[in-house]
């Protein structure tokens, strides 16, 4: 039984089993590691003794459990213990893991070189078309009178400059005209200029004053002409209305130019400069101009959305753009010099910083800490830690990272302590150490696995679900009559259903059930822990279904509905953490995990 547990593809199985056992502050590259291949894990039936320590035994299914009793059994699954060896004879000694070719294919490992490439950064945003306030003209009354011969009758009427808008009958204006004509007869230039200015101040336009000067006849109904071309955006009077000084008559708006108001995230605002060229796309007007230019950057930031408005001036002489239309905006920043960079998906992040998995050739992989720079167009600049031409893993790196990290802390982990709590104990006050938290994380791990399967459109392997179900049984027994038990039981029910559905909409339903089961634990049990890991919790707006993912923009596994990010509450004050004094290494559960 012991030999059989170590063969037949156990290497890949262990990689999936141990993803949740990397607690808070793990060391990334261990001094010695075991190979992922099944042959490298095998030991002789008689056992093995570490070069510098006593004989120890471990469970082949739960390798975090270490004991010294050769006749003992695993308290989690009941399997017989097998001899544990700190480093097999065939394991690499350079901090790498060795993976058999068939395992590489099964795990979907893909690599890409670190290379110098032009690093053109762009900022994408959304916005809405708005009117250009500079092109708005307002006509308002400057005296008391009555509106007659109103030529515009409704909003939307087009008006050209010089077109008659309306006539106004005003006794006050008639008296001012008579005074002006009397001044002309007298020939007093000062008086003529004063009365002419009075006519202007009460609203008589220069063209009407010139006609009065030429004809020397009083105009009882003074015409008012449009001073600019545009469209009537507001009409406040009707034929025969009585107006007073200051009464608005109508507004003319020209749409030859329009504004696009873009919302820019606060962190990227410093990259936007006045006069910057902008690429635009309008779903409602595909033939509209696709270019604009930054006209103004507003000085305030919305405290709710953490964005600032940027005004973009767009030519609309074709008239295709309408105020309120949605705009997809891309700010193309200046082209920078070539930089050493890798695909962004190759970067793994945890509490110790950024790192990558480097392919050493011959099926051997090692972790490498790196210093990263800006990210753009799917690539991230590397400031230190890699040389040009080195191959980094871009797919399957999370399982490799988990195996590398596990071996560094395997010998320091120990069996979980008993749990003392009751049905009234809040989830945040349960005594949960690093090992127990890692076991609970197996269930969370399945939510990430199902999410990726739905997004990448592949069938899950039911074999990978079994360890989470088995650990759930152990947790249920240990936590007895606590609030954690129904969470685990409901999660197990979702996992059993997922083993049957495996893909498509049935799997999406199982993911929704699993997340509904885990919701209380995620938000009330250990939210700060998952926030530290970089996990994001999203809520689908329409249905209320939840999902978890590792950073990046929201990728909805249920469809195309919009979603809102759920903020992690700070409820970790009662969480018990295990110190290193008991020779247990606190390691980070499946940081950056992917299946």
Distance CA 119, CA 424 (A): 56
Distance CA 495, CA 328 (A): 40
Mean pLDDT calculated for residue range 375-404: 79
Cβ–Cβ < 8 Å for 51, 96: no
Task: Answer with the residue of higher pLDDT: 408 or 239.
Answer: 239
Q: What is the model's pLDDT at position 490?
A: 92
Segment 411-433, tens digit of pLDDT: 333 334 445 677 788 888 887 87
Mean pLDDT calculated for residue range 72-87: 71
Q: 145: closest CA among 122, 115, 172? A: 172
Of the given ranges (42-46, 95-99, 155-159), which has the lowest mean pLDDT? Answer: 42-46
269 lies in the same domain as 168 = no
Residue at a domain's end among 332, 361, 379? 332
Give the domain CATH number at 361: 2.40.420.20
Mean pLDDT calculated for residue range 90-115: 70
Q: What is the model's pLDDT at position 173?
A: 87
| Residue whose token pair is 């306030």 | 133
Distance CA 399, CA 15 (A): 6
Q: Which two tokens stand for residue 34?
A: 């075991």
Mean pLDDT calculated for residue range 7-30: 35
State the CB neighbour count (10 A cutoff) for residue 281. 13
578 lies in the same domain as 458 = yes
Mean pLDDT of the chain: 77
Q: What is the model's pLDDT at position 481?
A: 80
Q: What is the model's pLDDT at position 61?
A: 66
**Sign (positive or negative) of CA dihedral 155, 161, 165, 170:** positive
Q: What is the model's pLDDT at position 8?
A: 38
Task: Answer with the residue of higher pLDDT: 77 or 583.
Answer: 77
pLDDT over 80 (residue 4): no
Instruction: Give whichever of 153-157, 197-201, 394-398, 512-516 has the largest mean pLDDT.
Output: 512-516
Mean pLDDT calculated for residue range 561-579: 67
pLDDT over 50 (residue 586): no
In what helix (H) or strand (E) does residue 528 lie, and over which residues does it extend? helix 527-532
Q: What is the model's pLDDT at position 546?
A: 93
161 lies in the same domain as 60 = no
Domain extent at residue 206? 142-246
Distance CA 526, CA 573 (A): 10
367 phi and psi angles, rounded to 5 deg: -80, 150
570 lies in the same domain as 490 = yes
Q: What is the model's pLDDT at position 577?
A: 43
Cβ–Cβ < 8 Å for 548, 536: yes
Q: Does 362 reside within a domain?
A: yes
Segment 280-306, tens digit of pLDDT: 889 888 888 888 899 999 999 999 989
State the CB neighbour count (10 A cutoff) for residue 533. 23
Distance CA 414, CA 67 (A): 8
**pTM beyond 0.85:** no
At 514 the three-state DSSP class reads helix
- Name the pLDDT band for 268 (thresholds 50, 70, 90): confident
Instruction: Tally the domains of the chain.
Output: 5
Cβ–Cβ < 8 Å for 108, 396: yes
Q: What is the model's pLDDT at position 579?
A: 36
Q: What is the model's pLDDT at position 260?
A: 93
Give the domain CATH number at 277: 2.40.30.170
Q: What is the model's pLDDT at position 33?
A: 29
- Max Cα-Cα span within the chain: 131
323 lies in the same domain as 276 = yes
Q: 307: closest CA among 262, 261, 263, 260? A: 263
From edge to edge, which strands make up the β-sheet containing 115-118? 115-118, 338-343, 379-384, 371-376
457 lies in the same domain as 533 = yes
264 lies in the same domain as 231 = no
Q: Does 516 reside within a domain?
A: yes
Q: Does 404 reside within a domain?
A: no
pLDDT over 70 (residue 364): yes
Cβ–Cβ < 8 Å for 472, 443: yes
Q: What is the model's pLDDT at position 259?
A: 93
Q: Does 105 reside within a domain?
A: no
Cα separation values, 159 from 155, 225, 235, Å: 11, 10, 13
Distance CA 460, CA 483 (A): 29
Distance CA 333, CA 382 (A): 20
Ranges of beta strands (E only) in 132-274 are: 136-140, 145-148, 158-159, 164-169, 221-225, 230-235, 242-243, 248-253, 257-265
Q: Which two tokens stand for residue 165?
A: 């808008």
488 lies in the same domain as 539 = yes
149 lies in the same domain as 261 = no
Q: Does 106 reside within a domain?
A: no
Q: 167: closest CA among 116, 114, 220, 129? A: 220
pLDDT over 70 (residue 397): no
At 138 the three-state DSSP class reads strand
- Name the pLDDT band for 22 (thresholds 50, 70, 90): very low
Of the given ranges (76-85, 91-100, 212-221, 343-352), which has the lowest mean pLDDT? Answer: 91-100
Mean pLDDT calculated for residue range 52-70: 68
Q: What is the model's pLDDT at position 187?
A: 81
Segment 323-355, tens digit of pLDDT: 999 999 888 776 567 788 898 888 888 777 888
Residue at a domain's end among 314, 332, 350? 332
Q: What is the model's pLDDT at position 186?
A: 83
Cα Rg of the chain (Å, integer): 37
274 lies in the same domain as 306 = yes
- Over the range 345-368, which residues count as b (16 or more CB within 10 Å of their CB) and which as e? bbbbebeeebbbbbbbeebebbbb
Residue at a domain's end among 311, 332, 353? 332
- Name the pLDDT band for 400 (thresholds 50, 70, 90): low
Q: What is the model's pLDDT at position 314?
A: 92
62 lies in the same domain as 167 = no
Q: 369: closest CA among 401, 324, 332? A: 401
SS3 content of the chain, % helix, strand, coil (to 5): 30, 30, 40
Segment 508-546, tens digit of pLDDT: 999 999 999 999 989 888 888 888 888 999 999 989 999
Of the given ranges (239-243, 317-321, 347-351), which has the lowest mean pLDDT? Answer: 347-351
Q: 26: closest CA among 453, 595, 590? A: 590
238 lies in the same domain as 264 = no
Segment 429-478, tens digit of pLDDT: 887 877 788 888 889 989 999 999 999 889 998 888 888 888 887 788 77
Ranges of beta strands (E only) in 27-104 are: 56-58, 66-67, 82-84, 96-98
Q: Does 509 reside within a domain?
A: yes
Cα separation values, 359 from 266, 344, 346, 365, 390, Å: 37, 16, 12, 5, 8
pLDDT over 50 (residue 9): no
pLDDT over 60 (residue 480): yes
Mean pLDDT calculated for residue range 130-158: 88
Q: Does 400 reside within a domain?
A: no
- 8-state DSSP, 286: T
Cβ–Cβ < 8 Å for 357, 85: no
Q: 124: closest CA among 305, 272, 258, 290? A: 272
- Name the pLDDT band for 309 (thresholds 50, 70, 90): very high
Q: Does 266 reside within a domain?
A: yes
């Amino acid at each position: 039984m012991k030999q059989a547990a170590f063969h037949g593809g156990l290497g890949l199985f262990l990689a999936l089993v141990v993803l949740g056992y990397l607690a808070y502050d793990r060391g990334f590259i261990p001094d010695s590691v075991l190979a992922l291949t099944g042959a490298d894990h095998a030991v002789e039936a008689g056992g093995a003794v570490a070069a510098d320590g006593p004989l120890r035994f471990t469970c082949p299914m739960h390798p975090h459990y270490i004991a010294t009793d050769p006749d003992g059994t695993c308290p989690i699954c009941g399997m017989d213990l097998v001899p544990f060896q700190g480093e097999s004879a065939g394991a690499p000694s350079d901090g790498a893991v060795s993976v058999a070719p068939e395992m590489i294919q099964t795990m979907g490992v893909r690599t890409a070189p670190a290379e110098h490439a032009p690093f053109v950064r762009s900022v994408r945003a959304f916005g809405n078309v708005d009117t250009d306030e500079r092109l708005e003209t307002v006509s308002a009354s400057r005296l008391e009178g009555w509106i007659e011969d109103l030529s515009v009758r409704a909003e939307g009427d087009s008006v050209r400059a010089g077109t008659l808008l309306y006539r106004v009958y005003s006794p006050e204006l008639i008296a001012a005209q008579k005074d002006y004509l009397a001044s002309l007869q007298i020939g007093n230039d000062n008086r003529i200029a004063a009365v002419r200015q009075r006519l202007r101040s009460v609203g008589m336009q220069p063209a009407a004053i010139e006609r009065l000067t030429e004809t020397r006849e009083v105009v009882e109904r003074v015409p008012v002409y449009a001073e600019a071309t545009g469209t009537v955006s507001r009409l406040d009077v009707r034929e025969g209305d009585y107006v007073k000084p200051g009464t608005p008559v109508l507004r003319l708006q020209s749409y030859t130019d329009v504004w696009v108001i873009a919302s820019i995230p606060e962190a990227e605002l410093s990259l936007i400069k006045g006069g910057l060229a902008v690429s635009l796309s309008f779903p409602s007007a595909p033939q509209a101009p696709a270019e604009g230019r930054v006209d103004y950057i507003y000085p305030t930031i919305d405290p709710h959305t953490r964005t600032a408005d940027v005004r973009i001036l767009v030519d609309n002489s074709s008239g295709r753009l309408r105020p309120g239309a949605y705009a997809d905006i891309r700010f193309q920043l200046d082209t920078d010099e070539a930089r050493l960079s890798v695909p962004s998906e190759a970067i793994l992040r945890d509490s110790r910083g950024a790192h990558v998995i480097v392919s050493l050739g011959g099926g051997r992989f090692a972790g490498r800490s790196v210093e990263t720079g800006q990210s753009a167009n799917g690539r991230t600049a590397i400031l230190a830690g890699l040389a040009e031409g080195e191959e980094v893993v871009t797919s399957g790196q999370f399982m490799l990272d988990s195996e590398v990290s596990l071996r560094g802390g395997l010998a320091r982990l120990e069996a979980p302590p008993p749990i003392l709590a009751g049905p009234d104990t809040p989830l945040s006050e349960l005594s949960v150490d690093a090992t127990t938290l890692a076991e609970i994380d197996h269930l969370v791990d399945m939510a990430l696995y199902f999410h990726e399967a739905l997004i990448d459109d592949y069938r899950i392997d039911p074999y990978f679900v079994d360890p989470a179900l088995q650990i759930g049984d152990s947790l249920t027994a240990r936590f007895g009559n606590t609030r954690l038990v129904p969470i685990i039981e409901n999660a197990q029910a979702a996992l059993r259903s997922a083993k049957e559905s495996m893909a498509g909409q049935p799997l999406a339903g199982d993911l929704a059930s699993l997340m509904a089961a885990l919701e209380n634990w995620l938000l009330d049990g250990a939210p700060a822990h998952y926030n530290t890991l970089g996990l994001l919790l999203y809520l689908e707006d329409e249905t209320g279904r939840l999902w978890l993912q590792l950073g990046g923009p929201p990728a909805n596994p249920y469809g195309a509905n919009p979603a809102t990010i759920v903020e992690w509450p700070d409820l970790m004050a009662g969480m018990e953490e295990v110190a290193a004094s008991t020779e247990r290494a606190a390691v980070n559960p499946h940081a950056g995990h992917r299946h």
